[in-house]
Amino acid sequence: MIKIKLCNINDLRIGERRKFKLNDNEILLIRLKDGFYVMENRCPHAGCRLSYYGKIFEDGRIVCTCHGAIFSLKDGRALDGPTQKPLKLYRVKIVEDQVFLET
């Protein structure tokens, strides 16, 4: 398993997001009260960038405002909207004060 450092835990406040480049893909890191979530930065429905179009809810949902697709940040599944394709999530590991993506 490979760990890629994304940031320190204090670099993002609760409710904030930050995008990163991972090889040829963009990923999105989101911090909520219960932890950090990392996902592909594109909605699986139409490819809209979630860093711009994603509305985050504290209960662990993200809504792509392009077409209304709603996804769970916990497991990536589509909860409602025009697609049943899941959101691609990545594993997050916190080591001391650092946030890592595990691949």
pLDDT of 22 > 90? The answer is no
pLDDT in tens, 43-75: 999 999 999 999 999 899 999 999 999 999 999
2 or 13, higher pLDDT: 13
Given pLDDT bands bounded at 50, 70 and 90, which one contains residue 8? very high
| Local structure of residue 85 (DSSP, 8 states) | P
Length of the chain: 103
DSSP string, 10-65: GGS-TT-EEEEEETTEEEEEEEETTEEEEEESB-TTT--BHHHHEEEETTTEEEET
| Local structure of residue 48 (DSSP, 8 states) | -
pLDDT in tens, 86-96: 999 999 999 99
**What was the pLDDT predicted at 1?**
77
Look up the pTM and report it: 0.93
Containing H/E element for 30? Answer: strand 25-32
CA proximity to 87, closest of 11, 33, 34, 30? 30
- Go through the domains of the chain in sequence order and give each one's CATH number: 3-102 (2.102.10.10)
List the beta bridge partners of residue 80: 70
Residue whose pair of structure tokens reads 């930050």 in the numeric block: 18
Tokens in use for 69? 């697709």
